[in-house]
A and B are shown apart, each in its own frame.
Chain A
Amino acid sequence: MTDGKLPLIAKVATTASKTAAALSRAAGRGDGSVIGGWIGLKIDPDLLAHLSSGRAVALVSGTNGKTTTTRFTAAAIGVLGRVATNSYGANMPTGHTSALAKEGHTPFAVLEVDEHYMAQVIEATRPRVVALLNLSRDQLDRAKEVAMMAQMWKTTLGQHPDIRVVANSDDPMVVWSASSSPQVTWFSAGQRWQDDSFVCPESGHPIERSGGDWWCTGCPLRRPKPQWSVEDEGVIDPRGDWHLVKLQLPGRVNIGNAATALAVAAEFGVRPIEALPRLARVTSIAGRYAQVERDGRNIRLLLAKNPASWLEAFDMAEQAPTLLSINARDPDGMDTSWLYDVDFSPLRDGRPVLITGDRAYDLAVRLQVNQVPFRHVQSFDEALASVPPGRLEVIANYTAFQDIRAELDRVN
């Protein structure tokens, strides 16, 4: 379908959406990725469905890694033609609507979806493929319980047997969610955080783990054999061929994200050998992993939103001065209890640790108990001034990350 065949109301809404997004950008009020979609949906509530019609759509969801995996997947499917994607992490229907309106007609769309909105976005976009990465605790004060989220996914996928599901065989909650679908491709991207899947969501019995394997002690739920998996610095495809994965993004977790993207792209007919050079060109995503030079300091930005992603950030951070910044504003969740789900002892290696952010005192008490020496600074500038020239690792949760990104002129 071309733009010419959009219903009139959808055309009006699309134009209004693009105009609002442009105005928002011009006014310096962000990247316009939410406001445009919000206005468009006000005019045409079915705008997302109208804009999705005629495109082959892939959705990517999970607690962690969805922004990066979405970027990788869009890059991989780009082998076939133009891809619309919400590359700024605006992952609710307003963001999806903006992304599709902005790109005009494209044969493909790859959309990152907030876990809570999966049912709604599946209804509107009728995706060909849905990728399920992982489920773990996040935003404790208002997020649905992990088990409830898994149940919601399971119900929705059971109602859409035509969708091909690409799912992480290492996460018991994800495997259970996908079990209602008749067509699943399994990938193994590892599960470093296991505290939310000690108990089987099906039977309530303990889950046993050994090596990379897991199984329920009370029912048949167990790890399916993955068709795609990570081995060393590469990915094994369903034919058993190993492909070296060269990335500019750090850490083993990103090789897992790349494996997921390759698995999704393969469902569209893209071969790993075609996709890999495109993955290697991805540098940073909405500031994540960005490296910025400022006053002789090489600053690297790592986003860590929940316990699972803090573990990954510590895995990536070099032994260099490290600034931690914590907020608890609305997008972060108002509850800082999760600080005690994170073991900060990897920072106890002699590196200078600085702390800042709205909730620095919570972090201070946490680090004291964890016996990590630290210094409190009032601002990002004070942090910069108090470390020597060279690498500064910055690890921050969502709004704290955005604050620092703004200090660095909204680095991408």
Chain B
Amino acid sequence: MSTESLRIVWIYPDLLSTYGDRGNLLILAHRAAARGIPVETYEVRSDQQMPTTADVYLIGGGEDGPQAAAAQRLITDGGLHRAVNQGAAVLAICAGYQLFGHSFFAKGQKCAGLGLLDLYSDRGPTRAVGELRGDIDPRLGLPALTGFENHGGRTHLGPNATPLAKVTAGIGNGDQTEGAWAGKILGTYSHGPALARNPAIADLLLRWSTGADRLAPLDDAWAERLRGERLAAAASPA
């Protein structure tokens, strides 16, 4: 944390907020506040300059047109690149995850991405819709990933990005892996409010951005029930 309070930026809610993406901002802020960490949140629209000194950046899912517009705008602005180079943590979801790579497909065209994750995305043969479950890279020390995916893309990782998880149900990147991580950047196809089902990922982002080794535990009884229900639902596909 570079200042007195934890600063969280939600990138371009005017473009990338199709599936309850606000949830990740709300959950992160809620879990920080519950630990007594002062929080400032910023919703940065696409006609505003991207701040370079926040601690956590969140980017969500969206339709093809807005995805391409967001990528272009972020490349021109350059602020997010500076923030990441200075060590900011990132959670990138679905369309936002794709645009962190070198390139992605939108509206039938190959579009340039930010190149902040070593990966590229193209179109898959079918749309991946449904429960997604995976075993997260053990180096991150997190419990199983649970999410709901809804995307037509397939993502191919280069040597400088590591899969976030090994798929145990669903499609994910399309090659039995799901998402990617490098440094303090996490990308996932688990779309919308992914942190609702994965509070441990929220806490990882908080630990990365505060430098704290551990955080006070919270009462996650409801989140645990939700996780149990959804992990079981993914095990028995309808």
Contact = CB atoms under 8 A, between A and B. Distances in A.
Interface string B128-157: 011000000000000000001010000000
A334 B148 contact: yes
A206 B129 CA distance: 30
Nearest to B130: A334
B19 A335 contact: yes
A37 to B, nearest CB: 27
A365 B130 CA distance: 20
Contacts of A338: 19-20
Given A137-B18, A339-B20, 12 more contacts: A140-B18, A141-B129, A335-B192, A340-B20, A340-B26, A340-B196, A361-B222, A361-B226, A364-B225, A365-B196, A366-B196, A369-B30
B105 to A, nearest CB: 15
Contacts of A369: 23, 26-27, 30, 196
Interface of B: 14-15, 17-23, 26-27, 30, 45-47, 63-66, 69, 129-130, 148, 150, 191-193, 196, 222-223, 225-226, 229
B191 A337 contact: yes
Contacts of B150: 140-141, 335
A142 B229 CA distance: 22
A362 interface: yes
A145 interface: yes
A147 B65 contact: yes
A384 interface: no
A198 interface: yes
Which range contains the number of A residues in contact with the other chain? 20 to 34
Contact of B229 (A147, A204, A339, A361): A361
A337 B47 contact: no
A340 B226 contact: no
A297 B46 CA distance: 49
8 contacts: A141-B129, A141-B130, A198-B15, A337-B191, A339-B20, A340-B22, A362-B226, A369-B196
Nearest to B64: A145
A341 interface: yes
Nearest to B17: A195
Given A198-B14, A335-B150, A204 B23 contact: no
Nearest to A145: B63
B222 A140 contact: no
A340 B23 contact: yes
A199 B15 contact: yes
A362 B193 CA distance: 11
B46 A365 contact: no
A341 B14 CA distance: 13
A9 to B, nearest CB: 38
Contacts of B226: 361-362, 364-365
Contacts of A337: 19-20, 23, 148, 191-193
A52 to B, nearest CB: 34
B65 A341 contact: no
Interface string A395-411: 00000000000000000
Contacts of B26: 340, 369-370
A210 interface: no
B65 A142 contact: no
Contacts of A366: 23, 196
Interface in A332-372: 334-341, 361-362, 364-366, 368-370
A146 B64 CA distance: 12
A143 to B, nearest CB: 11
B208 to A, nearest CB: 21
Q: Which 5 A-B pairs have the closest CB atoms?
A: A337-B192, A340-B23, A340-B20, A337-B20, A361-B226
A365 B18 contact: no
A142 B17 CA distance: 17
A368 B34 CA distance: 12
Contact of A364 (B191, B193, B222): B222
